[in-house]
Chain A
Amino acid sequence: MTLLDFFKWLQYSPLLAAMRSSPWVFPVIASVHLMGLALIGGAVLVVDLRLLGFGLWRQPVAEIARDAERWMLVSLLVLLPTGILQFMCFAATKYYYLTAFWVKMAALSLALVFTFAIRRKVVMADDTRMSPVRNKLVAVVSLSLWSCVAIAGRLIGLP
């Protein structure tokens, strides 16, 4: 089975056929996806702004990062299912051929790996062992990766 066959199987499954038959379902799912986008924006920004010195400043980075991480996971729990459902609606006829979709998937993979492997280690460390330059670099990479995900995501939805 090729990737395209798999996408076809997803798109033409009975569940998705039922979803596509209602004009309400797709925009409602897209709306919930946008709510998740707003939430992940907050959870990412609150930490990255702290690292850049523009956000909260008195608390240890680790304290803010721990609290924000919980909301980041909540937002991913909203974003991933709604994203997968939107993808399934037009997997084989639209997304398979769309560069923006593949760019988004690549950026998303990188952003998740960077956030949970590298950024997490840096922000959870003791403040005394932090270097301002490295913190700023981490924040800039994090913001750039998530911006790529969001911008590519927006491009997917454009006509």
Chain B
Amino acid sequence: MSLLRLCEWLATTPGSIALHESRYMYLIVLSVHVLTLCMFVGTAAMIDLRLLGLTMPGVRVSEVVARLLPWTTAGFLVMLVSGALLFYAAPLSRYQNIFFRAKMVTLVVAGVNVWVFHNTVYRSVAKWDLDPVPPRRARMGAGLSLALWAILIMLGRMIPYQVYWFDCSKQPQPVIVNFLAGCITQ
């Protein structure tokens, strides 16, 4: 089954229809998704800023991570669940949304960045735990992380605006748009 068929099938399930047509539920999920940003990206940004040497220079890096990362992780889980529900409410239009697709790619890249950071430079944190400005590789990981979350926020905010510029429902579209959005044309 192709992803497109899967999305088409998802859109016919009662849960998806109920969420899509609900008066308040969709808006509540959307609001939770946006507001948890404060907790998820907010605490992640504070960790990144410490790694860049831009805040709390007197606090051990490992302590900032140990005390704030649980909040980042909890925020991320809420983002993941609410985000999945937002997708489930309109699977096809999300699937054929260029900003949504770009956001998912960015999310994977951001995840790889986190994984690489924790499995390489952060392993030797004991050696630079008290450095006001951590080593270059740690700073690069943190800078990249900040940039990726900022891009993710922008792509997410753009998702509902695609319909104003280019959309599979508006043909003819440039070939590149149809290709990137996965539009089906004759």
Contact = CB atoms under 8 A, between A and B. Distances in A.
A77 interface: no
B39 A154 contact: no
18 contacts: A27-B161, A31-B154, A38-B42, A38-B153, A40-B42, A42-B43, A46-B68, A49-B67, A56-B56, A56-B67, A58-B59, A63-B58, A64-B59, A67-B56, A67-B57, A71-B49, A71-B55, A154-B34
A63 B64 CA distance: 14
B25 to A, nearest CB: 13
Contact of B55 (A37, A44, A70, A154): A70
Contacts of B27: 158
B42 A42 contact: yes
A102 to B, nearest CB: 19
A35 B153 contact: yes
- In the A-B complex, the 9 residue pairs with the smallest Cβ-Cβ separation, listed nearest first, are A41-B38, A41-B42, A42-B42, A38-B41, A31-B154, A31-B157, A42-B46, A67-B55, A23-B164
A56 B65 CA distance: 9
Among B58, B68, B157, the most chain A Cβ lie within 10 Å of the Cβ of B157
A140 B58 CA distance: 26
Given A27-B158, A56-B64, A150 B35 contact: yes
A71 to B, nearest CB: 6
A68 interface: yes
Contacts of A42: 38, 41-46
Interface of A: 23, 27-28, 30-32, 34-35, 37-46, 49, 54-59, 63-64, 67-68, 70-71, 147, 150-151, 154-155, 158
Nearest to B155: A31
Nearest to B99: A27
Given A40-B38, A71-B55, 9 more contacts: A27-B161, A34-B37, A35-B154, A42-B45, A45-B46, A49-B71, A59-B56, A59-B58, A67-B55
Range class of the B interface residue count? 35 or more
B149 to A, nearest CB: 7
A55 B74 CA distance: 14
Nearest to B38: A41
Contacts of B150: 35
Given A38-B37, A45-B43, A56-B67, A151 B59 contact: no
A54 B154 CA distance: 30
A41 B44 CA distance: 10
A49 B74 CA distance: 14
Contacts of B59: 56, 58-59, 63-64
B51 to A, nearest CB: 13
B31 interface: yes
Contacts of A154: 31, 34-35
Contacts of A158: 27, 30-31
B127 to A, nearest CB: 20
